[in-house]
Structure 1
Amino acid sequence: MTDPHPLLPFVEGLPKAELHVHHVGSASPRIVAQLAARHPDSEVPTDPAALAEYFSFTDFAHFIRVYLSVVDLVRTPEDVRLLTFEIARDMARQNIRYAELTITPWSSTRRGIEEKAFMAAIEEARHQAESELGVVLRWIFDIPGEAGLEAAEQTARLATEEGVRPEGLVAFGLGGPEIGVPRPQFKPYFDRAVAAGLHSVPHAGETTGPGTVWDAIRELGAERIGHGTSSAQDPELLAYLAEHRIPLEVCPTSNIATRAVATLDEHPLRTFVDAGVLVTINSDDPPMFGTDLNTEYVVAARLLDLDERGLAALARNAVEASFLDEAGKARIAAEIDAYTDAYLAANAG
């Protein structure tokens, strides 16, 4: 952004929750460079400046290739712990109070990280983040759709097996490419996860049509939809999402970077809001897309012509749509309201 938005100072101090943000995809250039230096057989640059060019995507398929090359850098439990805690540190700088971090265990355990060591690493980082940074983390385990049913089986097992499933796990998801990866094939795995008490939060309708969103709802029992961009093409679907209060996890800059949406002016965020859909604002894979959650709130302010109260309402949407306990939701909502009132009072006139 060449000209800082006048609401950026408000956004920077606003207490926030984030619901659609990926573990490896949140690795900052500094951390990626450190990991690449530790694993010199990787194609990923070790120079943070070179990473900006490396993270320039031509389309969604190219993004997936780059993303997987960074996944390949996370090879040891210490890599996992360091990455997770440093993500929380970046969140704390943005006044993110709570985040549901999407983790793909398959990507790390196939590299040879022992399952229980992986779980111990993320849990250690979670406790450290809460005690030292005041950031509450919870996990979403997602199936990498492109890896097929073997990955789905392992992810479901890790998400439901006593003695392995981590305490911070709250939901079960599905990510990766949508084209050629139909949602219904994953129904048995989502059924198992939901039976074990987890929430259903698949990606759908990012690079495919609204039929994929319908499949996520009808076949996978989706309680939130990751992206859901193409929902705007189906008025019946928008009405259903609004009526049943199924939130969309909207990631504007990501949608442009992956070419899911051609330009910000064409982004369907306003269509969602006008239809009464509960929307949350998220950063997806922030360093890879040259963004962060504060920037995404500013983008939303531009797209929706919001003032401070409107941005605070968006922040409360994320709290409402989260799987945090009711006491935790009330605490963050009260922080949002208190901050907004104090900011407006201090800047009145």
Structure 2
Amino acid sequence: MSFLQNLEKYDLHCHLDGSLSVECIRSMAGQVGIKLDGDNLEKRLFADFQCKSLAEYLTKFDLPLECLVTKENFTAAVKDVMKTASKERVVYMEIRFAPLLSVREDLSAERIIEAALEGLKQGTAEYGVRGNLILCGMRHMPSEKNAELVKTAKEYYGYGVCGVDLAGDEAAYPVQQQAEMFEMAKKLGIPFTIHAGECGSVESIWNALELGASRIGHGIAARKDPKLMDYCARNKIPFEMCPVSNLQTKAVKSMEEYPLELFLDKGIPITINTDNRTVSNTSMTRELQMIQGYYGFSDEVLEKLMKNAKEAAFSL
């Protein structure tokens, strides 16, 4: 067995709706009456390096979200992601999703979370992967709705929910508009990460830190600001980097621009993650192979990246 195959892996930034296997999507679609006859599912679900933008990348989530509308499908979905992760020695993962995108008249946020927690329980029992859930608020939603989600998260915090997040269009919806959400999280003692500086600006990261984020999702834009890099290194702010998806969404144009080595040299605790296993057609193994191949990292560097993730986990 190779070093990479044998390495214990930690995936802290993994979106549920972007990580469902083709088989799982096909099964879930059947459960909710979506006909996929003759559809090229791979084409609908997979992005590639020819992807032109983050907006194009996000179209790949349409079908999974159409399927995530029942309790049974949420349970099956979480279990499916853990099954996939178990095949490459992922020992711990934090799976994130936005319950509010799936709320229906007959499906409350509470029922969605409980169904996902059941999938977590079954996945751990069957595949041996430990996991927790991160609940995402969405930037385009009213701040009071996201704050309400944080209150709901508190009911399950420590019982499979380990934190909250904010995702969505950074440029159109600045993070300060969601200050209420993060004031609530701090009041209730729930740690949070924020998607910031993925395809957005340096200011987006500064604003996330000012609101109290203890981790940063992506953080690519920090490469443009030496003071910000120094601040994150000094305060040990982990960045959840996702190399394959960062290339696909055009967060950077090429690996030559990718700031991973720069961040490591600055002393920022970097973690490597999958982001969207299916949409990016990736795995922890692929992510690590890619950066090792490009940078010539030793096995010890990869071990350090996994140690960073273990230490940055919200609940282990």
> Is TM > 0.5 for Structure 1 vs Structure 2?
yes
The answer (yes or no) to whether the contact 2:100–2:109 under 8 Å persists in 1 is no
The answer (yes or no) to whether the contact 2:134–2:162 under 8 Å persists in 1 is yes
Tell me how many residue pairs correspond in the alignment.
313
Moved over 6 A (4+): none
Q: Which amino acid aligns with 2:299?
A: E
Matched residue of 1:119: which SS? helix
The answer (yes or no) to whether the contact 1:281–1:300 under 8 Å persists in 2 is no
Matched residue of 1:287: which SS? coil
The answer (yes or no) to whether the contact 2:143–2:181 under 8 Å persists in 1 is no
* Equivalent residue for 1:115, pick from 109, 112, 119: 109
**Closer/same/farther in 2, CA of residues 141 and 255 from structure 1, 3 Å limit:** same
Q: Any stretches of 5+ residues in structure 1 without a counterpart?
A: 1-7, 326-349
Q: In 2, distance between residues paired with 1:18 and 1:48?
A: 31
* Equivalent residue for 1:93, pick from 87, 102, 112: 87
The answer (yes or no) to whether the contact 1:156–1:193 under 8 Å persists in 2 is yes
Deviations 1:61-97 (A, max 9, x none): 1222331442121111000000111111111111111
Q: Which has the larger radius of gyration?
A: 1
| Mapping 1:48-59, distance limit 5 Å | 49-52=40-43, 54-56=45-47, 57-59=51-53
Q: State the partner residue of 1:203.
A: 195
* Equivalent residue for 2:253, pick from 232, 238, 262: 262
Q: In 2, distance between residues paired with 1:175 and 1:127?
A: 25
Q: Which amino acid aligns with 1:28?
A: S
Matched residue of 2:140: which SS? helix
The answer (yes or no) to whether the contact 1:270–1:303 under 8 Å persists in 2 is no
* Equivalent residue for 1:147, pick from 136, 141, 144: 141
- What TM-score do the two structures reach when normalised by structure 1? 0.84
Pick which of 50-59 and 73-82 moved more: 50-59
Q: Which amino acid aligns with 1:302?
A: G
**Closer/same/farther in 2, CA of residues 242 and 53 from structure 1, 3 Å limit:** same
How far off is 1:177 after superposition? 1.5
The answer (yes or no) to whether the contact 2:197–2:222 under 8 Å persists in 1 is yes
Q: In 1, distance between residues paired with 2:58 and 2:167?
A: 11
The answer (yes or no) to whether the contact 1:23–1:102 under 8 Å persists in 2 is yes
Q: In 1, distance between residues paired with 2:276 and 2:307?
A: 22
Q: Which amino acid aligns with 2:137?
A: I
1:9 and 2:2 are equivalent in the alignment: yes
Which protein has greater RCO, CA pairs closer than 8 Å, 6+ apart?
2
**Closer/same/farther in 2, CA of residues 129 and 209 from structure 1, 3 Å limit:** same
Q: In 1, distance between residues paired with 2:85 and 2:74?
A: 17
Q: Which amino acid aligns with 1:83?
A: A
Q: In 2, distance between residues paired with 1:84 and 1:32?
A: 12
Deviations 1:9-49 (A, max 9, x none): 3212211111111111111122122223334447xx56685
Q: State the partner residue of 1:126.
A: 120
**Closer/same/farther in 2, CA of residues 208 and 30 from structure 1, 3 Å limit:** same
Q: Which amino acid aligns with 2:198?
A: E
Q: Any stretches of 5+ residues in structure 2 without a counterpart?
A: none
1:317 and 2:308 are equivalent in the alignment: yes
Q: State the partner residue of 1:337.
A: none
Pick which of 253-262 and 231-240 moved more: 253-262
The answer (yes or no) to whether the contact 1:141–1:171 under 8 Å persists in 2 is yes
Q: In 2, distance between residues paired with 1:11 and 1:48?
A: 35
| Mapping 1:1-349, distance limit 5 Å | 9-41=2-34, 45=36, 49-52=40-43, 54-56=45-47, 57-110=51-104, 112-149=106-143, 151-160=145-154, 162=155, 167-218=159-210, 220-325=211-316
